[in-house]
Amino acid sequence: MKRFRYSLGFLIVVLLVGAGCATVNTSTNAKNTEPIKIGFIGPLTGDIADIGENIKAAVEIAQKEINGKGGVLDRNLEIIYEDGQCGSKQATLAGQKLINIDKVKYILSFCSDEVLAIAPIAEENKVIIIAPIATNPSITDAGDYIFRFIPSDNFQGKFSAEYIFNDLGKKNIAIVFNNDKNWSTGVKNEFEKRFKEIGCNIVIEEGVDSESRDNLSELAKIKNSDAE
């Protein structure tokens, strides 16, 4: 949970740097006291809604703490929550609403599919996206306004392969992965590539749908294989 509170904290640093010169309305010489709007796009419904709700709770704690201390440059934070459902279609609609209707300049987003879907919209409108847990390698080149705080799938897949071989001493591996999730496929592909490079074997590979509630057939195949 701390990661998501720190994410909002990092966004505050961005606000302090970027909004510092805009706190005074030059036409009226009056200080701007309107709330700073921050968009939130996360999986609030769907198969990982529990993760999204926990993230939302952490952000709410951070918002309360920051506003309780006077906000940012004497402006409170207003968080506008949108359900991205960890998918590109819903995230695109949420991103368009936040940017075009709510006029936010900063968005917290979490799933890779969500981040990649809204990145072009954010780039076009110069809206900053902070992605604490999105791991798709493509996010690295998604744009100048897109930032994340976690290693990509490339790093995670490579690290996992080397750990299993060097630390666990295993050479024959079975892989089960979500074949309908970019993050899962990304980690799997990099793991598989590195595992083969160091002379190990992928004995069996089974892709499953994230909506599936019965994977007995896949598990039976793995049980009957030579995987360690």
What letter does residue 213 receive in the DSSP assignment? S
The structure tokens listed for 104 are 């936010």
Which of 122, 195, 144 lies closest to 165 in space, CA to CA?
Answer: 195
Q: What percent of the chain has pLDDT over 70?
A: 87
17-44 pLDDT, tens per residue? 444 444 444 455 667 889 999 999 999 9
Residues 204-212: what's their mean pLDDT? 87
In the prediction, which pLDDT does 31 show?
78
Contact 132, 3 (CB under 8 A): yes
The pTM assigned to this predicted structure is 0.76
Q: Quick check: 1 pLDDT over 80?
A: no
Tally Cβ neighbours within 10 Å of residue 81. Answer: 17
Q: Quick check: 88 pLDDT over 70?
A: yes
In the prediction, which pLDDT does 186 show?
82
54-63 pLDDT, tens per residue? 999 999 999 9
Q: Quick check: 2 pLDDT over 70?
A: no
Residues 164 and 143: their CA atoms lie apart, in Å, by 34
92-142 pLDDT, tens per residue? 999 999 999 999 999 999 999 999 999 999 999 999 999 998 988 889 999
The structure tokens listed for 60 are 């709410």
Residues 219-223: what's their mean pLDDT? 93
